[in-house]
Each structure stands twice: as structure tokens, then as C-alpha cells.
Structure 1
Amino acid sequence: MAIIKPFRGIRPIKELADKIAALPYDVMDSDEAREMVKDNPYSFLHVDKAEIDLPKDIDPYDDRVYDKAKENLDSMIKNRFYIEDEKPNYYIYRQVMKGRSQVGLVGCASIDDYTNNIIKKHELTREDKEIDRINHVYKCEAHTGPIFLTYRENKDISNIINEWIKREPIYDFKSEDEVCHTVWIVDDENTVIKINELFKSVEYLYIADGHHRSASAVKVGHIKRAEKEDYTGEEEFNYFLSISYPDSELEVLDYNRTVKDLNGLSREEFLNKVSEIFVVTESNEPVKPKEKHTFGMYLEKQWYLLEAKEGIFNPEDPVDQLDVSILQNNLLRPILGIDDPRKSKRIKFIGGIRGLKELERRADTDMKVSFSMYATTTDDIMDIADSGKIMPPKSTWFEPKPRSGLFIHKF
């Protein structure tokens, strides 16, 4: 049984919502963030990446950065860029990108559900990235970026959401990337109670995106428990900000690869080795795979369709049958020498949102060969999490990404 609870949201005044809402902190570096905010003093990046308001040579993990984040957040609240709702509510957040809608319920999830694996994970986390967010959350005493959760659809919850979004929204704007953002506040007490009860029939929640943020929020919760010996479990630090989407609302995009060189092989030697593992067919047009276990490959201005031969993976193993695993285990590692894609400097990952042209551009300039992938599915994510296994790195890419700064959960 999953616990999702309402909270007293701290949220932008309507006039500033579009200016405050910012992309997640981890999709850009500090220089890119500085460029994004140069004409926007309201951007939430002043909180999420506070180093942009300090000297350029400062370490992003310096304590002064977290102090600045708290200072900026407190200032935005003090200057009434934000309001705080008087009672706990839920919020509905809809994004529309290129005609496709993604609707989720904003609330708070339980750190105990995370610890007890009611909230399931499919990705490993890095300690340095966890420490960064632990410091940020602890110093700000707030969760500022919602964790992206999914669950197997519950029709009763979906019906409530679908009825509620017929009402007047509190925010409705288009961001600079042409994504439309609309928010409704669910402030009817009976509806809030009904949603609470319905989530008790949701067996598991799954982290779609935000493993580092969720792990950090949980660790901060445990730190706060240690500081408050008489904690009851009801304190706000026992919960973290989340957006829960039914699996029917999500679309996982492809996460493509491009590699620097052919590992000392000639073009012919490389193609011969690939042909031992895959059926290789030349294509007169760019290849965007249309089914599992097929791949596009772009090499020296020529596209190829690769089809995995029988017997090179275990179809009963939820990880081994993933296309990212098939490519890694049968081509990237044994042929191109990419043993650890998380650490290798010879491979780059390109979100499917960039399109096939970007794969061509990279292979024609600073890289050598590119691979287009068939997207991992939400079912794949859930199956792997249910089996207690871990997905290979860079397996999923979600768009649109929920904006930070629209909802703040103070504890």
C-alpha cells in the first residue's frame, strides 16, 4: 500500500509562475544556467543552482553555494514571489509537448515507503551527487524539485483527475521550449480524503526519474529524525515532494549513443564483426527503430539497420533483453571496447528529443559511429524494479520534464 499525502504548497504568485518555473538542476551545467537566467531574476535556478550568483570559479559543492540557495529561497518567499496555501492540498500538473499531454498528481511520498521498497528503484546512485542534494535540501529545509513517480493506473484516481481538470486552473503558461504548463489546486476536503484512500490500493510506486533526489530526501529525513528524538512520523520531513503519474500517461523516449572511434578497427573489420552478431542491412534513409531488438547505426555517412540474431540475449531476463543491454553486451563492450559506459570518455549519450540529425552530426564531426535505439518502455522499468534488478546506465529519457519551483514543500 502506497502513501501519498497532501501538503501546504508554497507556490509562485500567478503573475510570476512562468518566470520562476525552471528546468531541473541536473539537465544543465553552471555556465548554461548562468546564460539561462541572465535576463530573469525570478528563475528558480537561483535556488537550485545557486552558484550562478557567486564567483564563476567557486566549487558548486562549496558550503557557500548551499547558504546562497537558502538565502535566495528565503528572499523569494519574503518578497512575496510565493504564497503558501492555508491547508494541505493536492495539485494536478499537466504538461503538453508537441500535442502530447502528460498529467500527474503532485503530493508527498513517504520516506518509509522508499526504505521498505514500496517505492521501487531501478537505478544506482552516485555518492557525490547524493551529498550535493542532501546539503541543498537540508540547508533550504525544503524539497524544491519533485520526484517523478509512476504507478500502474488506477481508474478511480484517473477519473477524479480527469473531472478536476475541467475546472479553472491556477497556472496556465507556455515555457520557452514551447511546452504548455497547467496547474490545478485540489482543495476540496472530501476529494483529498478520497485520493488518500484510493492510493492505499496502489501496491507500488516506481521512480521514473529522480533517483538521486529521492535518495537524498530520504537521508535528510533520517537525519532530521535523529535530531528530533521524539518524532512521531507525522512531521513533514518524513515525506518528500513528488509527482505521481499513471503509467498510461508516460512516454519513455529513446536514449541514443555515439562513439569516438572504432577501437582500432577498419570500417570493413568493424562491419564484419558486427555482422557476426546482428543482421546488417544498408538503409537509404535514417533508421529510427520501430520494434525491440533492432537498432540504427550511422557510420561514414551511411545508415544501417541492425537486427539482433537469435541466442545473443536471454528473453526471460528483464535486464538482458533490454536493447541497451543487447547493444552494450554484444557490440559496445566486445567490439568497441566500452567496458563501463558510465566512466568511458569515448561514448556520449544523446536524448531522443535531439533527433537523428544530431547522431549524424556527431558521427560526422567529433565522433565516429552513432546508434539509434528503440525506447525502453514503462513496463520494462516496472518489471526490472519488481525483480530487484538495476537498469543499465542511460536507459531512459523522459520528456517533458516537470519544472522546478512551481511547488515547494517546506519541512
Structure 2
Amino acid sequence: MADLIPFPATRPAPDKVAHVVSRSYEEYGRKERKALMKHNPFSFLHIIRPGFKFHREFSGARRFEMVRNRYLEFLEEGILIRDQEPAFYLYHTRSGADSAYGVFCAASTEDYRSNLIKRHEDTLLRREELFADYLEKVRFNAEPVLMAYPDQQNLEALFGEIMQEAPEYFFTTPDRVTHRLWVIRQQGRVAAIREAFRTMDSLYIADGHHRCASSDLLARRTETLPGGKEQDKSFRYFMAYLIPESQLRIHSFYRLLTTMNGLSKNELLVRLDHYFRIHDMGPAHFEPTEKHQFSMYLEGEFFALYLRRQPKASKDPLGRLDTQLLYENILKPVFGVSDPRNDPRVRYLHDRHGGAEMRQLIDRGACAVGFGMKPVTMEELKAVADAGQTMPPKSTFIEPKLPSGLTLYDFQNHPS
């Protein structure tokens, strides 16, 4: 049973929420970020990049301390407010024809340890340790772990009922995304949500594997302190955003190679002929239309690659993933890529907007060749996670992407 609980969030004052929330720091270009921070003193970016006011960058423990200071300043100035009662937070977002809803809650690190919360990606210990150090110092969690749960009719009906009511927040950001948020405190509704999640056998991490692992690492550290497990229960939870599986949108990544590994175009085609049936599709953009089919862009032309040896049905879900098949049949044997996560010759572009950029990079010589494939399905993701396996790097680009600063989990404001 999933131990998902309501929590009293720290969140923007209602009259400032549209100015506080931001996209992920990495999504901004340098000039755009600088202009935004210069002209918007309420932006959450000021908390996560606290050196801006001093016109310099800080790192390590000093930066963590200053993040904490900026956070406390936002509270003191009323830009952020602390809820006093635990709540679930239902959040709906719409961008063009795409929309999704889910609920912010606090999830248990013990559920992560016991594999009730399942993962499909590897994490790096150095990144886990760095983020655990960060959380321990700043004492709040601003980035939720995105997790998917099986669609459930009772929850869908309850959330549909709540979304007919007036929201706490209703605003649109400059990227034309509309946001609505409802605060759920009524005891009957809170109990119904908790009970619905208790019936679920598994939850699946969609995005935020390092955040989840780091939260667990911090909880383990705290438990080793005298009385730590009893005195600081807040570290045993982390902020999560739970979304129905049907609301999740999964995209794929293009794989680009910066060199041809000494092969000419014809030599590469001959090498690939061992693994694939190859159709020349010409200069028009081509995307795979079925599983185990790949696209390749090379010297101004697209090629359709059809795997000659279809993977047999087996108990190995990883072996049927197109990302794994591309690695086993192209990246490793043809280009000599043994470590796709760290090989500097491999670049990744997600296919949400990356098709034109992939073509431009290759046409101007920044990369030599690119490969595309159909996205991983939710069923494939779950099968890999259920088998205790992990996918190759950059196997999924998952939406919705959540804004920063909408809800924060403050360890010092934990309900227990």
C-alpha cells in the first residue's frame, strides 16, 4: 500500500503566483534568464540562483546557504506563504491541445526502498550525494518527483468534481500554459484520496529518479543520528506529483553521432545491411511508424531501417526496447559506443521539438548522422521497472513538465 499523505505546502501568495513560478532553470537561455531576473523580483529563479543580486555565482555549501536565505526572505516578504493545515493539491495544466491533471502529495522513502515506488533509470551516486547535501542545507523540496499510477474511476470522478469548483490559482504564464490549482483539505476527500492510493500495488517514477534517490539517501543519513528516526520524520517523505497513466505523454530522443567512426556513407549502409532492411526515403522528413523501425538522417537524406531479426517474445522486456535494440545493433557494433551515457560522440535531442534541430546540426556539419525511433510506451516502461531493469540513457522524454515554485515541501513544516 502506498503511503501518500497530505502536507502543508509553502506556495506563492495568490496575487503573485504568476510572477513566482518559472520553468526549469536549464530551459532558459542566458540572456532570457538574466532579463527575467532583472525585471521580476518575485521569480523563483532568485531562490535557486541566489548570487544574482550580488552579480556573481556561488557554489557548494555557500550557495546552499544562500538558497536558504533567499527562501526565508521570500517568506518574510510575503511572496511565499506557508499553509498551516495538511492538504492535497490538485493541479491542472493546459498547453494548446495538451492537458493533464494530477495531485501534489508527500511520498514515503520507505515505499521507494521496498520497491513499491518503482524506477526504470539508473542514478549516479555523486549526483545523489550532491542533492542530498543540498536538501539537508536548504531544508525544503521544490522539485516534485513525477510518478504515474493506474487510472482509477473513483479518483477520476472525485478530481472531476473538484475541478468544477473555483480554483485557488488560475493563471497563464508567458509560454501560453494555463495553470489551475485546488487545495484539498476536506477530511472526507483527503481520506478518499489516501484510501484510493492504498489500493495500488505499485507506483512508477516517470521523471525525477535522482530526486527520489537523493531524498532516500538523506532519510538514511538522518536515521543514523541519535534519535533521528523518531525526531525528524519529515526527511522520510519527499514531494511527489501523482498523475494517471493516461495523462502522461512520452516522447523519444534522437541519437546523433558527431563522427562516422571512419566510415563513408556507402560503408555505413553496407554495415547496417547486416542488421536492417534499408529503404532510401529521400530528403523529406521521415519518422518511424512502428516498433523496431528506425529513421536515419545522413547527408541530406532519410533512410528507413527495418530490423531483420525481430526480437522474440521473452521475459526480458529490456531486450525488446527500441532504445536497447538501436544500441545493440548500431551504436555499439558499428560506431563502437560502449558507454552511451558518457561517450562524447553521442548527442541527444528529444523529439518534441528536435526534428528540425537534428537536421540542422547534421546539415551544417556539427553532427554526422542521426537516428530516430517510436517512443517507449507506458506498458514497456512498467515492464522494465517490474523486472528490476533500467533503460538505456535518454530513453524517455516525459511530459507534463512541472513549473518550479508552485508548491514546496518544507521539512520544518511537516504535518507529523
TM-score by length of 2: 0.93
* Residue equivalent to 1:289: 288
Number of positions where the alignment pairs a residue of Structure 1 with one of Structure 2: 408
* Residue equivalent to 1:397: 397
- Letter aligned with residue 89 of structure 2: Y
* Residue equivalent to 1:324: 323
| SS state at 1:172 partner | strand
Paired with 2:371 and 2:229, the residues of 1 have a C-alpha distance of: 52
Paired with 2:56 and 2:378, the residues of 1 have a C-alpha distance of: 40
Shift of 1:185: 1.1
- Letter aligned with residue 381 of structure 1: L
Paired with 1:350 and 1:384, the residues of 2 have a C-alpha distance of: 23
* Residue equivalent to 1:156: 154
1:247-326, aligned counterparts within 5 Å?
Answer: 247-284=245-282, 285-311=284-310, 313-316=311-314, 317-326=316-325
Paired with 2:273 and 2:390, the residues of 1 have a C-alpha distance of: 29
* Residue equivalent to 1:14: 14
Shift of 1:23: 2.4
Q: Does 1:196 align with 2:194?
A: yes
| SS state at 1:340 partner | coil
Paired with 1:53 and 1:326, the residues of 2 have a C-alpha distance of: 49
* Residue equivalent to 2:77: 79
* Residue equivalent to 1:39: 39
Does structure 1 retain, via aligned residues, the 8 Å contact 2:37–2:45? yes
Q: Residues 32, 66 of structure 1: CA spacing in aligned structure 2 closer, same or farther, 3 A cutoff?
A: farther
Shift of 1:36: 4.9
* Residue equivalent to 2:381: 381
* Residue equivalent to 2:414: none
Superposed CA RMSD in Å reads: 2.0
Q: Residues 274, 5 of structure 1: CA spacing in aligned structure 2 closer, same or farther, 3 A cutoff?
A: same
* Residue equivalent to 1:345: 344
Identical aligned residues as a percent: 29
* Residue equivalent to 2:88: 90
Paired with 1:215 and 1:25, the residues of 2 have a C-alpha distance of: 21
- Letter aligned with residue 405 of structure 2: G
Q: Which runs of 5+ in 1 are unaligned?
A: none
| SS state at 1:129 partner | helix
Q: Which runs of 5+ in 2 are unaligned?
A: 412-416
Paired with 1:29 and 1:219, the residues of 2 have a C-alpha distance of: 32
- Letter aligned with residue 385 of structure 1: A
1:58-207, aligned counterparts within 5 Å?
Answer: 58=58, 60=59, 62-207=60-205
Does structure 2 retain, via aligned residues, the 8 Å contact 1:90–1:105? yes
Does structure 1 retain, via aligned residues, the 8 Å contact 2:51–2:57? no
Does structure 1 retain, via aligned residues, the 8 Å contact 2:222–2:228? no
| SS state at 1:173 partner | strand
Shift of 1:174: 2.2
Shift of 1:66: 0.4
Does structure 2 retain, via aligned residues, the 8 Å contact 1:287–1:372? no
Shift of 1:179: 2.1
* Residue equivalent to 1:246: 244
Does structure 1 retain, via aligned residues, the 8 Å contact 2:3–2:111? yes
Shift of 1:234: 8.2
Which segment drifts farther, 355-364 or 241-250? 355-364
Paired with 2:22 and 2:375, the residues of 1 have a C-alpha distance of: 26
Shift of 1:271: 1.0
Q: Residues 50, 117 of structure 1: CA spacing in aligned structure 2 closer, same or farther, 3 A cutoff?
A: farther
Q: Residues 36, 337 of structure 1: CA spacing in aligned structure 2 closer, same or farther, 3 A cutoff?
A: farther
| SS state at 1:5 partner | coil
| SS state at 2:42 partner | coil
Shift of 1:49: 3.9
Q: Residues 230, 297 of structure 1: CA spacing in aligned structure 2 closer, same or farther, 3 A cutoff?
A: closer
Paired with 2:326 and 2:253, the residues of 1 have a C-alpha distance of: 12
Does structure 1 retain, via aligned residues, the 8 Å contact 2:248–2:400? no
Kindly report structure 1 stretches of 4+ aligned residues shifted beyond 4 Å. 25-36, 51-58
Does structure 2 retain, via aligned residues, the 8 Å contact 1:287–1:303? yes
Q: Deviations over 1:277-323 (max 9, x none)?
A: 11111114211222211111111110111111124x44422111111
Does structure 1 retain, via aligned residues, the 8 Å contact 2:222–2:232? no
Does structure 1 retain, via aligned residues, the 8 Å contact 2:142–2:409? yes
